[in-house]
C-alpha cells in the first residue's frame, strides 16, 4: 500500500490501476476473481478534500452515491453540480441536527432503494491551547465530530438491521490515537469516536453490520480539478476567518502564557503552516483504498493511511507498553519464596550452623 507520493495530480481511474493500491488478500478485497456488486453509498462531508475524492472514486467504479455537503459551508447550487455525474445526487445537512441527517438518509433510501455503505468524512478542529478554547469552540467540535457521528449511526442502524447488512466507514484521525499539543479538544472528540465505534462493533456484529475507523495521516488534495468548493466559514455559525488550514481553524487570540514562539500549544499551528501543500498522503489514492474497504468481505477495525499515521501510532503503542511494563509491579504481588520454601530454607541454615560448631 503506497499512499505516500510526490505532489502530482491523479485521476480516480489512474489510482484504481495502481499496482500497490490493494488491500491485503486476507480481507478479500474486490478483484477480477472477486468482482464487486454495485453499492449505494452516502458520503457525509463530501465537500472536504477526502470526501470529494471518495465520491469521485466510488462513482468511477460504477457505484451510486448521495454526496452530502455541510449547510454551514456549501450551497445547494454547489451540491447540485454532483448531479452532472451519473448515479449521484447532492444534498445538504448539518450533522449536529438529527432531523437533517434523518432527512438525508430517508431521501437516499427512497432514491436508491437501499443503502449499503455510509462514510462519514465530516469534522473540524480548532488550533489553540486547551485553556484558550472557549465554550463555543469546545461544544461545536464535540457536536460536529462526535454527536454528528452518533446521529448518523443511530438514524441509519434501523435500515441496516432490517436488511441484515451494512457498513460504516468513519473517518477518525491519528489524533484519535495520540494527543497533539494545540489540538486537545479535537483529539478528545476523535478519542470519543474511536471508543464509540469499537464498543458498537460488539453490538451490531450479529446483524452483519461492519464498521471501520479510517485514520489518515497528513492528506493532500491532489485531484486534477474540483467539482465542489466549500465556503469560507470556519465552524458552525461562525463568521468568516482568514486563518484556515484544511479543516483546522486557528484560534485568533492566544493568551500570554501560550503565545511564545516555542510554546507547545503552538505545535499544531507550526506543523500545519509548514506542511501547507507538502502533505505526503494522496487523497485520491486513499479514496481508492477506502472504496475497496467498502467492498471487502472482512474489513479491519482500523485502516491507517500513510507512513506518518503508521509510525506515529506504532510509536505511541510502544510507549504505552513500555510504561505498563515499568509500573506493572505496583499491580501484581512480588514474586518471592513460598512458606514451604522459607521453612526449608530455615532448616538448611540451622544444619549449616551445627556443622560449623562441630
- The 3-state DSSP class for residue 172 equals coil
β-strand partners of 113? none
Q: Are 288 and 50 in contact (CB under 8 A)?
A: no
The pLDDT value recorded for residue 338 is 63
This prediction has a pTM of 0.84
Residue ranges with strand state E in the chain: 40-44, 64-70, 88-93, 117-120, 125-127, 166-171, 209-216, 219-220, 244-245, 248-250, 281-282, 302-305
The 8-class DSSP code of residue 21 comes to: -
Q: Which of 3-7, 51-55, 157-161, 261-265 has the lowest mean pLDDT?
A: 3-7
pLDDT band at 114 (very low <50, low <70, confident <90, very high): very high
The pLDDT value recorded for residue 231 is 43
Cα 235–Cα 239–Cα 245 angle in degrees, nearest 5: 50
Query: Does the pLDDT of residue 103 top 60, yes or no?
Result: yes
What average pLDDT does the chain have? Answer: 85
The pLDDT value recorded for residue 228 is 45
Phi/psi for 117 (5° steps) reads -135, 135
Taking the alpha carbons of 340, 345, 351, 353 in that order, is the dihedral positive or negative?
negative
Query: Within a 10 A sphere around the Cβ of 234, how many other Cβ atoms?
Result: 21
Query: Does the pLDDT of residue 324 top 80, yes or no?
Result: yes
The 8-class DSSP code of residue 143 comes to: I
Dump pLDDT digits (tens) for 28-76.
Answer: 999 989 999 999 999 999 988 889 999 999 999 999 999 999 988 888 9
CA distance 350 to 358: 13
Mean per-residue pLDDT, 146-165? 98
The pLDDT value recorded for residue 230 is 45
Mean per-residue pLDDT, 149-176? 96
% of the chain at pLDDT higher than 70: 78
The pLDDT value recorded for residue 284 is 87
The pLDDT value recorded for residue 222 is 60
Q: Which of 7-21, 23-37, 108-122, 176-190 has the lowest mean pLDDT?
A: 7-21
What grid cell was written down for 336?
Answer: 518471592
Q: Which of 99, 38, 36, 30 is nearest to 64 (CA)?
A: 38
Dump pLDDT digits (tens) for 255-294.
Answer: 999 988 888 888 878 877 766 566 667 888 899 999 999 9
Taking the alpha carbons of 285, 294, 204, 99 in that order, is the dihedral positive or negative?
positive
Query: Does the pLDDT of residue 7 top 90, yes or no?
Result: no
pLDDT band at 167 (very low <50, low <70, confident <90, very high): very high
Query: Does the pLDDT of residue 295 top 90, yes or no?
Result: yes
The pLDDT value recorded for residue 10 is 60
Mean per-residue pLDDT, 103-110? 98
Taking the alpha carbons of 194, 197, 200, 205 in that order, is the dihedral positive or negative?
negative
Mean per-residue pLDDT, 117-137? 94
What grid cell was written down for 344?
Answer: 526449608
The pLDDT value recorded for residue 254 is 83
Q: Which of 325, 351, 288 is nearest to 59 (CA)?
A: 288
The pLDDT value recorded for residue 215 is 93
Query: Does the pLDDT of residue 1 top 60, yes or no?
Result: no
Amino acid at each position: 500500500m503506497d499512499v505516500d507520493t510526490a505532489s502530482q495530480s491523479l485521476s480516480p481511474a489512474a489510482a484504481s490501476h495502481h499496482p500497490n493500491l490493494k488491500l491485503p488478500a486476507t480481507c478479500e478485497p474486490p478483484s477480477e476473481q472477486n468482482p464487486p456488486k454495485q453499492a449505494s453509498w452516502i458520503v457525509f462531508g463530501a465537500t472536504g478534500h477526502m470526501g470529494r475524492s471518495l465520491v469521485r472514486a466510488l462513482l468511477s467504479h460504477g457505484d451510486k452515491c448521495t454526496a452530502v455537503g455541510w449547510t454551514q459551508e456549501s450551497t445547494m447550487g454547489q451540491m447540485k453540480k454532483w448531479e452532472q455525474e451519473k448515479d449521484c445526487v447532492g444534498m445538504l445537512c448539518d450533522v449536529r441536527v438529527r432531523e437533517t441527517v434523518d432527512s438525508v438518509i430517508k431521501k437516499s433510501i427512497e432514491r436508491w432503494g437501499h443503502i449499503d455503505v455510509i462514510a462519514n468524512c465530516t469534522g473540524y478542529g480548532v488550533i489553540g491551547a486547551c485553556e484558550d478554547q472557549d465554550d463555543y469552540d469546545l461544544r461545536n467540535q464535540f457536536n460536529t465530530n462526535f454527536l454528528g457521528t452518533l446521529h448518523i449511526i443511530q438514524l441509519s442502524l434501523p435500515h441496516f438491521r432490517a436488511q441484515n447488512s451494512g457498513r460504516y466507514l468513519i473517518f477518525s484521525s491519528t489524533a484519535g490515537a495520540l494527543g497533539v499539543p494545540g489540538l486537545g479538544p479535537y483529539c478528545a472528540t476523535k478519542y470519543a469516536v474511536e471508543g464509540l465505534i469499537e464498543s458498537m462493533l460488539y453490538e451490531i456484529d450479529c446483524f452483519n453490520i461492519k464498521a471501520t475507523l479510517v485514520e489518515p495521516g497528513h492528506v493532500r488534495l491532489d485531484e486534477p480539478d474540483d467539482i465542489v468548493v466549500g465556503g469560507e466559514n470556519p465552524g458552525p455559525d461562525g463568521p468568516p476567518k482568514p486563518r484556515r488550514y484544511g479543516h483546522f481553524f486557528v484560534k485568533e487570540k492566544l493568551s500570554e502564557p501560550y503565545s511564545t514562539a516555542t510554546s507547545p500549544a503552538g505545535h499544531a499551528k507550526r506543523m500545519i503552516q509548514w506542511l501547507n501543500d507538502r502533505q505526503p498522503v494522496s487523497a485520491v489514492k486513499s479514496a481508492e483504498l477506502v472504496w475497496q474497504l467498502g467492498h471487502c468481505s472482512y474489513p479491519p477495525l482500523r485502516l491507517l493511511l500513510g507512513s506518518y499515521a503508521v509510525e506515529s501510532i506504532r510509536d505511541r503503542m510502544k510507549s504505552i507498553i513500555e510504561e505498563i511494563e515499568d509500573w506493572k509491579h505496583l499491580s501484581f504481588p512480588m514474586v518471592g519464596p513460598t512458606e514451604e520454601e522459607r521453612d526449608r530454607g530455615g532448616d538448611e541454615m540451622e544444619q549449616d550452623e551445627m556443622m560449623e560448631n562441630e
